[in-house]
């Protein structure tokens, strides 16, 4: 019997092998999700993974160039995005501070962006992107959240030129916030000075200087700067006081124009009195 | 000697399977990838016979299934059948002649048609709306592309046996 089976097997061995292989394949097909199959799969995958690791350099080599180009493009895009995010963060920070400042302020203001600036001349100015059409007029003070920036001196339809503190032609009446000592703030071309303060007056390094309120154009108590150096001028009755401006003009990007502060009545009175005085003197 | 030969063929098969999963996809035209393992199965059938090709087809298909991570057993089944059918082309005396002429290409084409037809017909069940159309399309293109790759063993054997083409 066994011999006969063996004989049949040898006679039809091709078909026997084929049947066995097909049965095995079909069994595998039907038991795709069985844990044993999964186990075999994972073991063989690990083995081949090791081999593939050594061979995988070939496709990597071919794709390296395009991958490199892609990564470079991505790198540029990401750097650009990071830069824009950083810029947005800083802008957000500045605008928040400006917003807080605007909410605190008791006078109407118009926000503006600095579109150009000169900081290396004796008469430095900045140009802002608001003008006559926005209600801006000459002699309006310009500030930011740190303090006084300057005064509007020229206005066009959509732009205005601001004479900043670092300009030899601008003089601002100020006072020491702590001791209420008055003086005049003026740029001498290299440093900002607080002038006309007698040697006997109480001024100390670190004192904050604010606008005095005596000016026709500037509202009182706007921060101008901080006393940095004190000194005596030989043969003079006045102190030499060097001031660090409150505003960092190098970083200046956004400002506020204080609208409609100039007191018309005060201006008229003062000009008329000056007229009478000059007439009296001439007589 | 026989063990050496078996080891050689097994190592060739393993190399081809690794290539099939790493390098060969680089030659893919859209989604159509040539099957170099099939070339090996046909070669085994032509050189050693039906049983060897059937077993070789099953083992190589099984390994391909495991590595490809698709339907386990499908490649094994299809390559088993292909190896078995390829065995009918076995002739001990004409192996060299087959490998050095377009006969090998023709055999591969016919068997690849069978292989891909079966494979994609099963593979697309429940996946495509028109299984037959998808099988004809994918199977046909893959068959043509696989057939193109027969030039590799063809050139290998023509160089090895210094076949001089007689144009006359």
Q: Which fold has domain A109-261?
A: Thrombin, subunit H (2.40.10)
Mutation site, B16, B18, B20, B22, interface A, largest A CB count within 10 A = B22
**DSSP class of B89:** G
Cα A240 to Cα A227, A231, A244: the distances in Å are: 10, 5, 13
Q: Output the pTM of the full model.
A: 0.48
Residues counted in chain A: 283
In tens, the pLDDT along B56-109 reads 999 999 888 888 766 788 899 999 999 999 999 988 788 888 888 888 899 999
DSSP one-letter string for A224-271: EEEEEEEEE-TT-SBEEEEEEESS-TTT--EEEEETT-S-HHHHHHHH
DSSP SS3 for A161: strand
Chain B residues whose beta carbon lies within 8 Å of the beta carbon of residue A19: none
Is A44's CB within 8 Å of B67's CB?
yes
**Tokens encoding A164:** 């900043």
Dihedral pair phi/psi, residue A200, rounded to 5°: -80, -10
Interatomic CA distance for residues B79 and B61, integer angstroms: 6
Residues of chain A with CATH 2.40.10.340: 109-261
- Tens-of-pLDDT digits for all 283 residues of chain A? 778 878 887 888 888 888 888 888 888 877 776 665 666 667 766 776 776 677 666 666 666 777 788 888 888 888 888 888 888 888 888 788 777 777 777 778 888 999 988 877 778 899 999 999 999 998 899 998 889 999 999 999 999 999 999 988 899 999 998 888 999 999 988 899 999 999 889 999 999 999 987 877 888 888 999 999 998 877 888 899 999 999 999 888 889 999 875 666 777 777 787 777 666 655 5
By Cβ distance, the residue of B18, B71, B76 closest to A52 is B18
Nearest CA distance, B46 vs chain A (angstrom): 15
Nearest CA distance, B148 vs chain A (angstrom): 21
3-state secondary structure B21-64: HHCHHHHCECCECCCHHHHHHHHHHHHHCHHHHHHHHHHHHHHH
CATH assignment of B2-160, given 3.40.50.720, 1.10.1760.20, 3.50.50.60, 1.10.10.10?
1.10.1760.20
pLDDT at A141: 92
Chain B residues whose beta carbon lies within 8 Å of the beta carbon of residue A29: 71-74, 77
pLDDT above 80 (res B163): no
Residue in chain B nearest A45 by alpha carbon: B67
Find, among A52, A152, A165, A145, the residue nearest to A105 by Cα: A145
Nearest CA distance, A54 vs chain B (angstrom): 11
């Amino acid at each position: 019997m066994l011999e006969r089976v063996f004989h049949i097997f040898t006679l039809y061995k091709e078909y026997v092998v084929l049947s066995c292989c097909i049965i095995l394949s079909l069994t595998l097909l039907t038991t795709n999700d069985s844990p044993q199959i999964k186990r075999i799969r994972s073991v063989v995958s690990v083995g081949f993974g090791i081999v593939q690791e050594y061979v995988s350099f070939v496709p990597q080599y071919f794709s390296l160039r395009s991958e490199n180009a892609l990564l470079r493009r991505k790198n540029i895009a990401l750097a650009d995005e990071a830069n824009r995010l950083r810029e947005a963060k800083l802008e957000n920070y500045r605008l928040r501070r400006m917003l807080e400042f605007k909410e605190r302020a008791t006078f109407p203001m118009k926000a503006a962006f600095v579109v150009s600036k000169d900081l290396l001349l004796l008469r430095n100015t900045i140009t802002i992107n608001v003008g006559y059409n926005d209600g801006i007029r000459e002699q309006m003070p310009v500030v930011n959240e740190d303090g006084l920036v300057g005064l509007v001196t020229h206005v066009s339809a959509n732009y205005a030129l601001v004479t900043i503190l670092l300009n030899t032609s601008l003089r601002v009446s100020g006072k020491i916030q702590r001791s209420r000592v008055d003086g005049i703030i003026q740029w001498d071309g290299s440093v900002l000075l607080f002038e006309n303060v007698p040697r006997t007056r109480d001024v100390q390094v670190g004192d904050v200087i604010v606008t005095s309120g005596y000016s026709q154009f500037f509202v009182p108590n706007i921060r101008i700067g901080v006393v940095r150096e004190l000194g005596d001028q030989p043969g003079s009755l006045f102190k030499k006081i060097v001031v660090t401006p409150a505003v960092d003009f190098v970083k200046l990007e956004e400002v506020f124009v204080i609208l409609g502060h100039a007191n018309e009545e005060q201006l008229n009175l003062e000009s008329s009195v000056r007229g009478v005085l000059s007439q009296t003197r001439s007589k | 000697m026989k063990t050496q030969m078996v080891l050689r063929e097994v190592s060739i098969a393993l190399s081809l399977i690794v290539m099939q999963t790493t390098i060969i996809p680089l030659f893919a035209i859209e989604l159509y990838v040539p099957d170099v393992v099939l070339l090996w199965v046909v070669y085994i059938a032509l050189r050693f016979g039906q049983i060897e090709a059937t077993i070789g087809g099953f083992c190589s298909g099984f390994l391909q299934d495991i590595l490809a991570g698709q339907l386990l057993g499908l490649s094994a089944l299809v390559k088993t059948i292909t190896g078995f059918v390829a065995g009918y082309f076995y002739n001990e005396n004409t192996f060299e002649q087959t490998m050095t002429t377009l006969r090998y290409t023709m055999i591969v084409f016919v068997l690849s048609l069978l292989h891909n037809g079966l494979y994609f017909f099963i593979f697309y069940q429940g996946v495509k709306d028109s299984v037959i159309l998808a099988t004809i399309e994918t199977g046909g293109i893959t068959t043509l592309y696989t057939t193109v790759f027969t030039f590799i063993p063809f050139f290998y054997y023509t160089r090895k046996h210094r076949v001089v083409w007689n144009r006359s």
